[in-house]
């Protein structure tokens, strides 16, 4: 992984020279060195584990590049390949049904054990097939020395492979949340908190899942989330809320939730950073200071014949001078021409990196859950009902907590 020698020496020194002391009958013993690595709770422990997990990621990427393992292609063209997903010590390896993949997977796991010193728990590992013959799965699981699993399964507490439209799919998750919120509710009531305040505290945090996804769609085009959504639903961010799958419509509905600045709280925190101008609407996208031009100069927008034109089509360069191709449905009055001059100065004053593509930017440097959370609750009074939270949860919150 190309870590420098000096850095590796530092880590080795931290691990090899660490000493601990234990209490024996209430008295501390002499300090002694640990023989099995870091103690539990050591600040270095999670950091080093992430490095080890990254080593597995590097191994997988190498076999993908060498075409020794074939991942699963996403999208119509299957040009986005997903081979593995990692979260802490849980890993999912995804690939096509083939014996070459099975043997490559076995070799990767064995090599990872040798390099890292960690052991894969095959008793908890499962081989799951989608539209694969049970006999083939049984033979493959014997090679990998693991069990044969089936869908639906539970991963990180959530059902995978079940019908998301059925209520019974989510009943275990809902019941788990109810049990946890029941304890918190009692705790809040003991400290004199009202049930309304508890509702706002809980629901605001739960709602942030959709907010994170909206931020990833707009602001993190290099992330895996964006790439998967791009292949599945298309790269257009202007898709109507009533189109697409049920999951996609739910995700788009977050933009209608009431928060700071009104309904458009999410859009008000976004700005389009214009490069070549080929993916930015001249009038409708917020790419100049102050927002979208169709809002700042509503009169000019109503008179324009190019309401859906892109920045690249509206701004041209003639003899080294940039100009705007205005087209109006009638001759402008004097005061309207003065408004055009102001608009032109604003538009031509935007600095552009014309060699780069357009992209969305969160106005406060980068998108964070904290910023989105504060945007939604900043103007909510403690004595008022959290309306925007109800729009997301609807009837999913227990009745004893929604009063």
The residue extents of the domains of the chain are 1-42, 46-150, 194-267+361-401, 275-357
* More confident of the two residues 174 and 148: 148
User: What confidence tier does 228 reach under pLDDT thresholds 50, 70, 90?
Assistant: confident
DSSP state of 223: S
Confidence (pTM): 0.55
Q: In the predicted model, what is the mean pLDDT of residues 214-242?
A: 64
pLDDT at residue 99 is higher than 60: yes
C-alpha span between 186 and 195 (Å, rounded):
10
Give burial (CB, 10 Å; 0-12/13-18/19+) of 175.
exposed
pLDDT at residue 387 is higher than 60: no
User: What confidence tier does 204 reach under pLDDT thresholds 50, 70, 90?
Assistant: very low
pLDDT at residue 62 is higher than 60: yes
**pLDDT (tens digit, 9 = 90+) per residue, 118-171?**
788 888 888 998 889 999 999 999 998 889 988 888 877 778 888 877 888 888
Spell out the residues 6+ positions from residue 241 whose beta carbon is closer than 8 angstroms to its own: 249, 252, 253, 255, 256
pLDDT score at 399: 44
Burial call 48-80: b when 16+ CB within 10 Å, e when fewer: eeeeebebbeebbeebbeeeebbbeebeeeeeb
pLDDT score at 296: 92
pLDDT at residue 261 is higher than 50: no
pLDDT at residue 304 is higher than 90: yes
User: What confidence tier does 199 reach under pLDDT thresholds 50, 70, 90?
Assistant: very low
- Find the radius of gyration of the CA atoms of the chain: 28
Q: Which residue, chain included where needed, has tokens 């994170």? A: 212
pLDDT score at 262: 45
Give burial (CB, 10 Å; 0-12/13-18/19+) of 290.
exposed
User: What confidence tier does 291 reach under pLDDT thresholds 50, 70, 90?
Assistant: confident
C-alpha span between 196 and 187 (Å, rounded):
14
3-state secondary structure of 304: strand
Spell out the residues 6+ positions from residue 85 whose beta carbon is closer than 8 angstroms to its own: 91, 92, 94
Q: Which two tokens stand for residue 79?
A: 């040009």
Give me the percent of the chain exceeding a pLDDT of 70: 68
- If one counts every other C-beta atom within 10 angstroms of the C-beta of residue 177, the result is 16
CB 154 within 8 A of CB 160: yes
pLDDT score at 267: 66
pLDDT score at 171: 84
pLDDT score at 119: 83
C-alpha span between 38 and 2 (Å, rounded):
23
Note the Cα 125 to chain centre separation in Å.
27
Which whole-number Å values give the CA distances from 130 to 83, 136, 150, in the listed order? 15, 12, 8
C-alpha span between 324 and 276 (Å, rounded):
15
Helices (H) and strands (E) in the chain, counts: 14, 16
CB 118 within 8 A of CB 112: yes
3-state secondary structure of 28: strand
- The rounded mean pLDDT for the chain is 76
Element (H, E) at 322: strand 321-324
Backbone φ/ψ region at 28: left (φ over 0), alpha (ψ -120 to 50), beta: beta
Q: Which residue, chain included where needed, has tokens 């961010």? A: 237
């Amino acid at each position: 992984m190309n870590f420098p020698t000096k850095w590796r020496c530092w880590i080795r020194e931290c691990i090899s020279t660490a000493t601990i002391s234990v209490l024996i009958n209430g008295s501390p013993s002499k300090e002694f060195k640990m023989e099995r690595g870091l103690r539990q709770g050591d600040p270095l422990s999670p950091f080093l584990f992430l490095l080890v997990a990254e080593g597995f990621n590097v191994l997988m990427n190498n076999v993908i590049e060498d075409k020794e393992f074939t991942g699963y292609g996403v999208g119509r063209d299957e040009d986005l390949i997903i081979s593995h997903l990692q979260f802490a010590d849980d890993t999912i390896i995804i690939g096509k049904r083939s014996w070459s993949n099975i043997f490559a997977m076995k070799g990767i796991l064995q090599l990872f054990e040798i390099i890292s010193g960690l052991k894969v728990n095959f008793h908890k590992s499962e081989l799951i097939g989608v539209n694969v013959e049970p006999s083939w799965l049984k033979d493959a699981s014997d090679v990998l020395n693991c069990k044969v699993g089936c869908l639906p399964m539970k991963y990180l507490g959530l059902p995978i492979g079940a019908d998301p439209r059925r209520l019974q799919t989510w009943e275990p998750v809902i019941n788990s949340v109810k049990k946890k919120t029941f304890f918190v509710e009692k705790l809040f009531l003991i400290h004199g908190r009202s049930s309304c305040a508890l509702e706002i505290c809980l629901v605001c945090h739960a709602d942030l899942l959709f907010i994170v996804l909206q931020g990833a769609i707009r602001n993190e085009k290099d992330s895996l989330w964006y790439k998967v959504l791009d292949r599945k639903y298309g790269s257009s961010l202007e898709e109507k809320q009533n189109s697409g799958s049920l999951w996609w419509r739910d995700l788009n509905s977050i933009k209608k939730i009431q928060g700071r600045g009104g309904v458009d709280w999410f859009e008000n925190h976004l700005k389009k950073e214009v490069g070549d101008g080929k993916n930015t609407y001249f009038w409708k996208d917020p790419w100049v200071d102050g927002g979208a031009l169709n809002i700042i100069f509503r009169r000019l927008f109503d008179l324009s014949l190019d309401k859906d034109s892109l920045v690249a089509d509206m701004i041209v360069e003639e003899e080294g001078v940039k100009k705007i191709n205005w087209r109006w449905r009638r001759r402008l009055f004097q005061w309207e021409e003065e408004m055009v001059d102001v608009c032109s100065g604003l538009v031509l004053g935007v600095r552009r990196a014309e060699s780069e593509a357009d992209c969305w930017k969160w106005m406060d440097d980068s998108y964070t859950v904290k910023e989105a959370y504060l945007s939604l609750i900043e103007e909510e009074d403690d004595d008022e009902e959290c309306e925007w939270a109800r729009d997301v949860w609807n009837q999913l919150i227990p009745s004893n907590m929604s009063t």
